């Protein structure tokens, strides 16, 4: 799904009004109807609804939602927060409509007029939307602080009031902390970035009928990854195929005390469909790996505890994954250099392979074009330095990917893949249960397995992060986010693949 910046959303609005044709008031009615419908499908009419409105179009949405909920039998009350009486035209129309339908909004002109809410009320935040031009101050700030002090569920209309859609939060900036945000038509960039996203709570994108031609034809560097995108390139296995069809992967992983990382990535690689897997490991890992994963082949290094440069290996691997648990021994630095020099095609680099690269930038010249790098934020910082905010980091990713012709997957709640062309894909699957030791090693294994099956590096990144997250979601549903382990993510890869393949795979 495309992610548009606020100026493009406004363009989409204007294009829709011109081409459908539909009036801006009717578009607001559609948006408010979608919100009211969402609320009705989740909260019974016995729940009182308190709607806090501003004077712009976000406030107009709130006033319309109040009227629509009342029409469906809810006890809904609107408050209009303003120190002046300047309303946007559509907000004014909706104030009139609400008055005509019975009772208009109650004015709040000072924080002392903040009402005592009925017990168990649902709060709707329609104070400010994408028209935010400056950090909250004065009355608006006071009201938002009051809302944040409540223990009621808070639904933000379009965006939590006070949050910028396309720029970092202001220092000491205040924003509504929503339980749920109903975003019109698109995700906002802020919902996908760690500094701002938590305040949006759970995000639901509500279609409001913006013109499909505008959406299809307007380019944007930002997209989210969802099942529809994945199904465009997911390859079902051919009946007349053999293990060679699905590629031979090599994983260089593990050191004394960290053979688990090698095992996790190796199992994830095979469970993602690689035809053959060889594991390059130090001697100490031979018995555990062969015992726990008899499907994998082992190439043992001379050294007991860590990877060292070895003899030339001319096997034509379809993919090479390097890094989980390898440590940073000087011999291992040379082993990494040798592996990179010998790799004729894109590789997957993770964990200590990235840390070594950060300390030995001279190795960059050996990283094949099209390679996938999977840093978590700390590894990213080691590689490229600290950043002032999330947006500065996106820009740094863009530059690094272009300079080195690589794909970077910055891991997190919404792992973000950046391409050498400067496009960003945010993953939407996964959950906090995946914040557990070894989750990243399983991702490396999955990516190495997909690359072996001749998915392109971009397809590998998109399918890999999505399927990793979905497997994590299945594991959390079965076991709870607390109890799931990285190996449970691997155990649920099958459920994730079946979901993508569709029902015909299941019989
Ligand atoms: N296509 C869509 O997605 C659709 C979107 N729709 C809705 O429209 C919303 C955008 O509406 P909008 O442009 O009227 O802006 P909105 O945020 O309501 O108010 C801005 C007002 O607040 C003011 N103001 C700014 N900063 C401030 C501050 N810190 N503290 C105090 N005041 C501040 C600013 O005035 P200023 O004081 O700057 O002159 C201005 O008057 C969007 O989020 C969605 O809900 C739907 O209705 C239909 C389809
Ligand atoms: N809160 C979260 N929500 C979604 N995914 C998460 C969350 N925390 C971690 N993950 C995922 O788990 C993986 C963790 O990777 P990493 O930090 O390298 O772990 P490790 O080093 O233990 O293997 C990443 O793919 C990340 O996207
Ligand atoms: K809002």
Residue 489 has a pLDDT of 98
Question: Any known ligand binding at 158?
Answer: yes
Q: Give me ligand 1 centre to Cα 13, in Å.
A: 14
Residue 163 lies in a domain: yes
State which ligand 1 atom lies nearest to the alpha carbon of 128: 17
Q: Phi-psi bin for 247: left (phi > 0), alpha (psi -120 to 50), beta? A: left
Residue 477 lies in a domain: yes
Domains held by the chain: number? 2
Q: Looking at this predicted complex, what is its ipTM?
A: 0.93
Range of the domain at 477: 243-500
Q: How many helices and strands (H and E) does the chain possess?
A: 17, 17
Closest C-alpha to ligand 2, atom 19: 440
State which ligand 1 atom lies nearest to the alpha carbon of 157: 45
Q: Give me ligand 3 centre to Cα 123, in Å.
A: 11
Q: Both 174 and 270 in a single domain?
A: no
Is the CB of 376 within 6 Å of ligand 2?
yes
State which ligand 2 atom lies nearest to the alpha carbon of 261: 23
Is the CB of 142 within 6 Å of ligand 1?
no
Closest C-alpha to ligand 2, atom 11: 434
Is the CB of 457 within 6 Å of ligand 1?
no
CATH number, position 190: 3.40.50.10260
Q: Both 191 and 264 in a single domain?
A: no
- Could you tell me if 184 and 158 are in contact, meaning their C-beta atoms sit under 8 angstroms apart? yes
Contacts of 60 (CB under 8 A, 6+ apart): 28, 53, 87, 88, 90, 91, 93, 94
Closest C-alpha to ligand 2, atom 1: 432
Q: Both 201 and 267 in a single domain?
A: no
Residue 506 lies in a domain: no
Q: Both 202 and 310 in a single domain?
A: no
Q: Both 208 and 273 in a single domain?
A: no
Q: Both 149 and 267 in a single domain?
A: no
Is the CB of 57 within 6 Å of ligand 1?
yes
* Alpha-carbon torsion, ordered 334, 338, 343, 344, to 10 deg: 130
- Could you tell me if 213 and 188 are in contact, meaning their C-beta atoms sit under 8 angstroms apart? no
Residue 423 lies in a domain: yes
| Final residue belonging to a domain, choices 220, 235, 254 | 220
Residue 430 has a pLDDT of 98
CA distance 500 to 191: 25
Q: Both 110 and 253 in a single domain?
A: no
Helix 377-384 and helix 351-359, axial crossing angle in degrees, nearest 10: 20
Residue 504 has a pLDDT of 53
Q: Both 179 and 260 in a single domain?
A: no
Query: Counting Cβ atoms within 10 Å, is residue 241 exposed (0-12), middle (13-18) or buried (19+)?
Result: exposed
Is the CB of 434 within 6 Å of ligand 2?
yes
Q: What is the mean pLDDT of the chain?
A: 96
Q: Both 201 and 273 in a single domain?
A: no
Q: Give me ligand 3 centre to Cα 62, in Å.
A: 9
- pLDDT of 198-244, one tens digit each? 999 999 999 999 999 999 999 999 999 999 999 999 999 999 999 99
Residue 503 has a pLDDT of 59
The pTM assigned to this predicted structure is 0.96
Question: Any known ligand binding at 129?
Answer: yes
CATH number, position 393: 3.40.1190.20
pLDDT tens for the chain, 507 residues: list them: 999 999 999 999 999 999 998 999 999 999 999 999 999 999 999 999 999 999 999 999 999 999 999 999 999 999 999 977 799 999 999 999 999 998 999 999 999 999 999 989 999 999 999 999 999 999 999 999 999 999 999 999 999 999 999 999 988 889 999 999 999 999 999 999 999 999 999 999 999 999 999 999 999 999 999 999 999 999 999 999 999 999 999 999 999 999 999 999 999 999 999 999 999 999 999 999 999 999 999 999 989 999 999 988 999 999 999 999 999 999 999 999 999 999 989 999 999 999 999 999 999 999 999 999 999 999 999 999 999 999 999 999 999 999 999 999 999 999 999 999 999 999 999 999 999 999 999 999 999 999 999 999 999 999 999 999 999 999 999 999 999 999 999 999 999 999 999 855 544
Instruction: Read off the DSSP letter of residue 220.
Output: -
Closest C-alpha to ligand 1, atom 15: 131
Is the CB of 264 within 6 Å of ligand 1?
no
HEC string of 430-490 equals CCHHHCCCCHHHHHHHHHHHHHHCCCCHHHHHHHHHHHHHHHHHHHHHHHCCCCCCHHHHH
Question: Any known ligand binding at 413?
Answer: yes
| Final residue belonging to a domain, choices 153, 187, 220 | 220
């Amino acid at each position: 799904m495309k992610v548009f910046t606020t100026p493009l959303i406004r363009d989409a609005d204007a294009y829709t009004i011109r081409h459908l044709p539909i009036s801006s008031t009717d578009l607001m009615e559609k948006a408010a109807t979608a919100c009211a419908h969402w609320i009705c499908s989740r909260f019974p009419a016995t729940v009182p609804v308190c709607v806090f409105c501003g004077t712009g179009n976000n406030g107009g949405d709130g006033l319309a939602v109040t009227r629509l909920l009342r029409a469906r039998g809810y006890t809904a009350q609107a408050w209009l927060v303003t120190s002046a009486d300047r309303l946007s035209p559509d907000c004014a129309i909706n104030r009139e409509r609400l008055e005509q339908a019975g009772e208009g909004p109650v004015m709040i002109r000072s924080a002392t007029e903040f009402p005592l809410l009925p017990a168990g009320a649902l709060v709707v935040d329609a104070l400010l939307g994408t028209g935010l031009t400056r950090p909250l101050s004065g009355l608006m700030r006071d009201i938002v602080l009051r809302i944040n002090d409540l223990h009621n569920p808070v639904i933000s209309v379009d965006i939590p009031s006070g949050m910028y859609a396309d720029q970092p939060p202001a220092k000491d900036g205040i924003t509504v902390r929503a339980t749920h945000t109903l975003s019109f038509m698109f995700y906002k960039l802020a919902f996908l970035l760690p500094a701002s996203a938590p305040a949006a709570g759970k995000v639901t994108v509500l279609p409001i009928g913006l013109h499909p031609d505008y959406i299809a034809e307007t380019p944007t560097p930002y997209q989210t990854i969802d099942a529809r995108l994945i199904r465009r390139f997911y390859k079902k296995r051919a009946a007349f195929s053999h293990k060679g069809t699905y590629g031979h992967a090599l994983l260089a992983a593990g050191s004394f005390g960290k053979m688990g990382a090698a095992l996790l990535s190796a199992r994830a690689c095979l469970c993602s469909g690689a035809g053959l897997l060889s594991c390059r490991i130090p001697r100490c890992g031979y018995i555990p790996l062969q015992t726990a994963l008899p499907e994998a082949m082992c190439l043992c290094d001379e050294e007991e505890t860590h990877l060292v440069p070895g003899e030339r290996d001319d096997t034509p691997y379809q993919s090479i994954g390097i890094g989980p648990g390898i440590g940073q021994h000087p011999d291992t630095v040379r082993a990494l250099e040798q592996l990179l020099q010998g790799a004729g095609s894109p590789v997957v680099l993770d964990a200590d392979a990235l840390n070594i690269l950060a300390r030995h930038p001279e190795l960059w010249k050996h990283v094949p074009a099209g390679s996938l790098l999977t840093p978590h934020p700390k590894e990213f910082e080691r590689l490229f330095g600290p950043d002032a905010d999330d947006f500065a980091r996106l820009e740094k990713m863009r530059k690094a990917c272009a300079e080195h012709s690589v794909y970077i997957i910055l891991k997190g709640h919404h792992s973000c893949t950046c391409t050498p062309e400067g496009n960003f894909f945010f993953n939407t699957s996964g959950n906090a249960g995946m914040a557990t030791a070894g989750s990243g090693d399983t991702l490396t294994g999955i990516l190495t397995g997909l690359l072996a099956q001749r998915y392109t590096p971009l397809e590998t990144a998109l399918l890999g992060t999505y399927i990793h997250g979905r497997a994590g979601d299945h594991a959390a549903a079965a076991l709870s986010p607390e109890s799931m382990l990285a190996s449970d993510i691997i155990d649920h890869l099958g459920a994730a693949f079946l979901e993508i393949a569709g029902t015909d795979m299941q019989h």
